[in-house]
A and B are shown apart, each in its own frame.
Chain A
Amino acid sequence: MTREAAIRECTGVLPDISEAVNDIELVRHSQSGSREAFSELIRRHQHLVYNVAYRFMRDATLAEDMAQESFVKAYRLLKGFRGDCSFTTWLYRVTATTCLTEINKRKRRKEVELTPESGGNLCSTGHKPAERDLKEQIRRCVTRLSDRYATIVTLYYLKGTSYDEIAQVMDVPLGTLKTWMFRARKQLRFIIEKELLNNG
């Protein structure tokens, strides 16, 4: 399923006449100061940005805050967008950077442990894994990967994001991305195994 199809399935949004204007045109209008054009960009990409943010933050309220922050940052940085890559790719980069900055800030302040659902840390909950949704625990473990691995895993499993697009977001060659992906999976498996052992 393509990303657009996934969004339409989730939101029930059908393509309308405004979809005829492509993102680049909207970006150009936004760069010349049109807030309406930027609103249209928000409308088109809000679900994607929210989902990326949610997968990093694993909390609905934080995800909304981060999605807002990402759009605001995108608005401020829009003048510097030259159209070398698609707007979606650029927005992924802005969102991922915003979320990772916040996560690192929280790690420095040791606030990561304070998320209500996580108890001890993002993966260990104090309950046996079987009692909790194991899949949700696995998803939470992605946030414990290093920044770039967390980013590529998050983007890869977001519906429809291709390796090419992720390579553009990360600004690395395709081969490097594949190596990173392999290492990220290995690291994730290690983290999950460790967590399962701790909780088992």
Chain B
Amino acid sequence: MYCLWCDQEVIPQLSWTNLLLPERTRNICESCENGFLLLNGKHCLKCSRLSDETICSDCVKWENDPTWQGVLSFNQSVYSYNPMLRDVVTKWKYRGDYLLRDIFQYTFKDVFDDRFVKWEKEAIIVPIPLSEERMLERGFNQAESLAQLLKLPYQKPLSRVHGEKQSKKTRKERIDSKNPFEIKVQVSHPVILIDDIYTTGMTLRHAAKLLKNQGCPEVFAFTLARG
């Protein structure tokens, strides 16, 4: 097996443990894997950002705003959006190296199963959609391909209107932006939204608000990285 990121050969070390209990095949080498920062330290309970407070200042702001209060129950992210992850996401999403998704294959599912064990049965998984134009440009939807890693059924009740890229906007522009989503089907179950990066949380909240207005009881978010 060769590392998906640096293309060095990964040679598994043989030990008594993996001789008796064969491990999952590693598709990334150890030194590349160490570049990622798993969010398992002290973090904000609402948005997963590394922080000493239980609710970070960003989330306090959201919850004090009557328009957005309680719209998103919480966001769980897997990694911190550090330079290494940014490089991987850039190549995966913008350059379009689809295969790089598999780097997150196991960790993404493990963290999900851990955090959403309570809701997994009744909740519906919904990847954040791309606009049709963006979809044609990229060829694939990164949120949907992440959702596929969970090996659970997912639904696509939302659609997105074409607009400026989120990553090109400032925080203020993002928060003032119009809701880019439209709802196609009503959902009456709790929803777990899947996306690649939680930056300000605006995109996810737009989607969550629309779902809630149309009768969805509760909305969570599960993202690959916390920006």
Do A and B come from the same complex?
A: no
| Residues in A lying within 8 Å of B, measured CB to CB | none
| Residues in B lying within 8 Å of A, measured CB to CB | none
